[in-house]
Amino acid sequence: MSLVIIGLFGLLLIGTPIAAAFALVVFLNDERLNVWLDSLSNIPYDSVSSFALVAIPLFILLGEIINRGGIAASLSALADKLLRRIRASFGYVMIAASAFLGAITGSSVATVAAIGSTLGPEMDARGYPKGYTASLNAASGLLGVLIPPSIPLIIYGATVGVSITELFVATIVPGALLVLTFSTVHWFRSKAVLSGGHETKADAGVLENLSKRKTRSRAVASLFLPVIVLGGIYGGIFTPTEAAAAACIYAIAVVLLQRALNLEGLVQTFYAAVLPAGAILLIIAMTGVLNRALILNQVPQDLAVYMTGLFADPILFLIAVNLLLFAVGMFMETNAAVLLMGPLLAPSAVQFGIDPVHFAIIVVTNIEIGLLTPPLAANLYVAARTNNVHIVQMLRHFGWFIGAAIVALALLTFIPGLSLWYRLF
């Protein structure tokens, strides 16, 4: 079995497409795994036919509509008006806008791309170094996952069998904690990166022109999106999938009525959403084949027995898991890592008496930090490209945000109440 896992990581390291790597490692080792390939033929379909997973393409579509329809820019303009009296306010605008967009789309990389293209030029105009702007943009993108809804949490809940609605509720406080830690880093670092510690007063910046040119109704209409998504889910009106569908319909109506998109632009938006959604669902389908093979060989159960024998203390187990997940996140795409490590480690966590919801938050948060840690570091690369800066210029800045994220992860790991806060009421 160890050869199978080594083979999987080997295929991924040489650049094999993720879905192909998960499938090949089973097909090439069917005798070693003692599985009949024809018995696995229905697994890919069964893996993606879950109603909960329909939320993934819908939230991706919602993110594309928000970005292309100018809704992200309207929300950013509103945040700028509310926070402009604070010193170095525009850094907080980027954090707040990322949190708000994350509360709608559930995607980290999409949040980085949308916010970076909207706010990056304005931060440059206000005197921030490009490397710092891109680093803050990349770090703030993590809020796209921790603040519900969250695509990795949907995947985790669907594959491990944890309530997705409960996971969404649980991430509210962790998301707020990450907002606080990044805001604290910005408060200190802005004194060093800005001349005199204050922003340059820019001439009629991007958002100022936008707020004069667009009607107030767009920003007001945008505020109803998180109400539909989060209010509908927490109020028991919608399931997460139904909330995503309702939000898409509302967003389409808004951008068409306000003429932010025409029908041709809307078709292009759907096309742009189909590509990443199809890729994610294909990965889920092929990971289902690998997970079934692992379950048939009782790998999760054997790992749970091994871990409970190796570590007598849950604290030591959590430390080991965090180190393992941190390493996995550096080399593996987020959704694939969640699909692989969630089912593998969840039985061990149960043996140690760790709450499944608490453990889900630990797993997803840790793997998400991998979006900031090379060599994979998807958020860093997207932020560098979006803000037109070389990644070398980001090196002296993004370490501060990685450190803040690790501090937040440690608090979430060892203080379960931060994730399970809702059970106090």
The Cα 91–Cα 119 span in angstroms is 9
Q: Is 95's pLDDT higher than 60?
A: yes
Please report the pLDDT score of residue 97 as a whole number: 85
Please report the pLDDT score of residue 138 as a whole number: 93
The Cα 70–Cα 78 span in angstroms is 13
Q: Is 187's pLDDT higher than 80?
A: yes
Please report the pLDDT score of residue 101 as a whole number: 79
The Cα 95–Cα 385 span in angstroms is 19
Amino acid sitting at position 349: A
Please report the pLDDT score of residue 214 as a whole number: 53
Please report the pLDDT score of residue 215 as a whole number: 46
Please report the pLDDT score of residue 59 as a whole number: 84
Please report the pLDDT score of residue 42 as a whole number: 84
Average pLDDT estimate for 255-284: 87
Most confident of 103-117, 139-153, 219-233, 281-295: 139-153
Please report the pLDDT score of residue 135 as a whole number: 94
Any residues with CB less than 8 A from the CB of 308 and at least 6 apart, and which?
348, 351, 352
Q: Is 206's pLDDT higher than 60?
A: no
The proportion of the chain whose per-residue pLDDT surpasses 70, expressed as a percent, equals 95
Q: Give the pTM.
A: 0.82
Encode pLDDT of 342-387 as tens digits: 988 998 899 899 999 999 999 999 998 988 887 778 888 889 988 8
Mean pLDDT score of the chain:
84
Burial of 118: CB neighbours in 10 Å, binned 0-12, 13-18, 19+: buried
What SS3 string covers 319-367? Answer: HHHHHHHHHHHHHCCHHHHHHHHHHHHHHHHHHCCCCHHHHHHHHHHHH
Question: b or e along 59-70 (b: 16 or more beta carbons within 10 Å of the residue's beta carbon)?
Answer: bbbbbbbbbbbb
Encode pLDDT of 404-418 as tens digits: 999 999 999 999 999
Rounded to 5 degrees, what angle do the CA atoms 148, 423, 55 make?
A: 25
Average pLDDT estimate for 8-15: 77
